[in-house]
């Protein structure tokens, strides 16, 4: 997977300039890796708790005004009809058969609607620029076999990962 991102970086950006946002549209594989990382990590699995502002009919339920609700984003990010084998990290979840980037209505790590994350644009730019800048200049290697890395999140309400050690090799 890293090799494919390296290949796309070298072909589209090269080594002599920094990545910029205009590069993303020509880098479907890297874009898919960023999307799949956000889907897989599911950083805010329960979203952020909200309260309904009035009595609300939802399917066969009435949710009384003031009730706290948790929009369970993970149930969408791990929907097995949309993302086959959702428990596996697979950038192919966001690529079509020709290798073009394929978006999904189920991609909602920032939630949706009026109160969705105001930092989404900034966060998505940072994720792309940081990843491409690091991988343009370095190869990352784990200290142990990747399958032995413990990816259990630190808490239940946020899937923020633990700290990991890795080897950073200049390219
Ligand atoms: C990968 C990074 C991030 C993720 C996954 C994320 C995710 C979320 C989610 C799920 C919500 C709840 C939305 C809802 O309840 O509908 C939220 C709200 C919010 N986020 Fe983010 N966020 C990220 C980065 C940021 C950044 C960089 C900023 C600021 C620069 C930011 C500022 C906010 C604010 C202010 C809210 C509250 C919005 C409101 O109450 O109307 N977030 N975020």
pLDDT at res. 157:
82
pLDDT at res. 36:
98
List phi, psi (to 5°) of 122. Answer: -65, -45
Q: What is the residue with the minimal CA distance to atom 30 of ligand 1?
A: 119
Predicted confidence band of residue 154 (pLDDT cuts 50, 70, 90): confident
pLDDT at res. 155:
81
Q: Give the atom of ligand 1 at the shortest distance from the alpha carbon of 113.
A: 16
pLDDT at res. 127:
98
pLDDT at res. 80:
97
pLDDT at res. 120:
98
Residues flanking ligand 1, CB < 6 Å: 43-44, 47-48, 50, 109-111, 113, 115-119, 122-123
Q: What Å distances lie between residue 60 and 50, 57, 81, 113, CA to CA?
A: 20, 7, 24, 22
Alpha-carbon span 168 to 151, nearest angstrom? 20
The domain segmentation of the chain, as residue ranges, is: 2-137
> If you measure from the C-alpha of residue 139 to the centroid of ligand 1, how many angstroms do you get, rounded to a whole number?
30
Alpha-carbon Rg for the chain in angstroms: 19
Q: What is the residue with the minimal CA distance to atom 21 of ligand 1?
A: 117
Q: Give the atom of ligand 1 at the shortest distance from the alpha carbon of 109.
A: 5
List phi, psi (to 5°) of 58. Answer: -135, 115
> If you measure from the C-alpha of residue 119 to the centroid of ligand 1, how many angstroms do you get, rounded to a whole number?
5
Q: What is the residue with the minimal CA distance to atom 7 of ligand 1?
A: 110
> If you measure from the C-alpha of residue 44 to the centroid of ligand 1, how many angstroms do you get, rounded to a whole number?
9
pLDDT tens figures, 100-145: 999 999 999 999 999 999 999 999 999 999 999 999 999 999 999 9
Q: Does position 156 have pLDDT exceeding 80, yes or no?
A: no
- Residue range 2-137 forms a domain whose CATH class is mainly alpha
pLDDT at res. 153:
86
Q: What is the residue with the minimal CA distance to atom 13 of ligand 1?
A: 116
pLDDT tens figures, 54-102: 999 999 999 999 999 999 999 999 999 999 999 999 999 999 999 999 9
pLDDT tens figures, 16-52: 999 999 999 999 999 999 999 999 999 999 999 999 9
> If you measure from the C-alpha of residue 147 to the centroid of ligand 1, how many angstroms do you get, rounded to a whole number?
31
């Amino acid at each position: 997977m890293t090799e494919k991102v390296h290949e796309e970086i070298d072909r589209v950006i090269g080594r002599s300039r920094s990545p910029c946002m205009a590069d993303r549209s020509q880098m479907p594989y890297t874009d898919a890796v960023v999307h799949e990382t956000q889907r897989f990590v599911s950083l805010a699995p329960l979203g952020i708790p909200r309260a309904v502002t009035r009595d609300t009919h939802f399917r066969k339920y009435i949710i009384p005004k003031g009730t706290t609700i948790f929009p369970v984003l993970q149930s969408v990010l791990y929907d097995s009809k949309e993302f086959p084998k959702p428990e596996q990290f697979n950038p192919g979840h966001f690529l079509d058969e020709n290798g073009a980037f394929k978006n999904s209505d189920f991609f909602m790590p920032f939630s949706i609607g009026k109160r969705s994350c105001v930092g989404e644009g900034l966060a998505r730019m940072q994720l792309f620029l940081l990843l491409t800048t690091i991988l343009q200049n370095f190869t990352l290697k784990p200290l142990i076999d990747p399958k032995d890395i413990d990816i259990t999140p630190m808490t239940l309400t946020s899937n923020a990962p633990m700290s990991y050690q890795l080897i950073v090799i200049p390219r």
